[in-house]
Amino acid sequence: MAFPKHVFLVILFSFLTLLPSSQSQLSADYYKKTCPQFHSIMQRITADKQLSAPTTAAAILRVFFHDCIVDGCDASILIASNALHKSEIDADINLSLAGDAFDLLTRAKTALELECPGVVSCSDILATSARDLVVMVGGPFFKVLLGRKDSKVSDPSIVDSNLPKVNMSMSQALALFSSKGFSAEEMVALVGAHTIGFSHCKEFANRIFNFSKTSDFDPAYNPAFAQGLRKLCANYTKSPEMAAFNDAFTPGKFDNMYYRNLQRGLGLLRSDQAMVMDKLTKPFVDMFAANQTVFFDTFARSMEKLSVYKVKTDKDGEVRRKCDQFNNIQT
């Protein structure tokens, strides 16, 4: 039975009003007329950087997450501090963000400014590069809506309370994600980004050295894995750059091996290993470990959701000329 036209319009309007106003202003073809070479430029710059520096994919994913989950996907994390103002990048938890990510974003922004000056936002560049790099290293494609504006504020004081940490309990991590609208399943899927990249020894040193009076290392570790980490990180206090791959088997490939590792006591970080021990998160770890397609589908859906979290549009933001500087210098 066909609906009367006025009924259809009412239904459509009702659906649209359920969308956040900022999200409804985004579109996949936002730059189709104003910067038609956007996607080809992004793909070229991203591929060149990843091929020359294979850890770039993991670096970009971490910057993207640290930007979005704090106060929305608005490139606030890219702002450099100056003598008068500290920025998010100077929060302690952000100091270890890898330089390859920022180098890629600078290259992309420079190329896009030459092609279509003043058009493409840094937040769109970051979101698109995250998607393109996930695909490049074997992960799923997901839709990235465009039209974000860059923030006019970067406040380091809000970072610490809005980012999950390696020493958090699982209930704390779940509460943090829940406060931002993400379910336990979506949290477990997003943390699956740890299937690529590495962590510095200092992030898990308390699990492998002097863990307790009865054990040198965390008994949740596979013993052989723990001994290997102890050897690798023996001098980490003198060499803080020492690090281990989050996934010891396929560190450069985006797959579900990360979850299979957790089941075998090969989770590098305490917060990661805790997911396989918690009754709320373990079913999702087991599901993703058993079925990579399910993981990919859930990860893609969760990344789409994260990528539009509290985005800025129109007058709420700006299109920065340089990603590390506001267009108007703040005094």
Active site residues: 66
CB 87 within 8 A of CB 79: yes
Which amino acid is residue 22, in one-letter code? S
User: Mapping DSSP to helix (H, G, I), strand (E, B) and coil, where does residue 318 land?
Assistant: strand
Q: Give exposure, 213-225, as e/b (b: 16+ Cβ within 10 Å).
A: eeeebbebbeeeb
Structure tokens at 307: 């990528």
Cα 197–chain centre separation: 12
Cβ distance 169 to 210 under 8 Å? no
Write down the H helix ranges in 72-197.
99-115, 122-136, 170-179, 184-191
Q: What is d(CA 247, CA 258) in angstroms, rounded to the nearest whole number?
A: 6
* Closest-CA residue to 60 (of 48, 49, 71, 76): 49
CA 261 – CA 78 distance, rounded (Å)? 33
The tokens for 247 are: 């996934």
- Measuring CA to CA, which residue among 277, 273, 218 is closest to residue 246? 273
Question: Which two tokens mark 71?
Answer: 């106060």
Q: How many CA atoms lie within 13 A of 64 on its CB side?
A: 30
> For residue 39, what are its two tokens?
């996607």
Q: DSSP letters along 267-293, please?
A: -SSHHHHHTTTSTTTHHHHHHHHH-HH
Coil/strand/helix, residue 245: strand
Query: Rounded CA gap, 196 and 24, in Å?
Result: 32
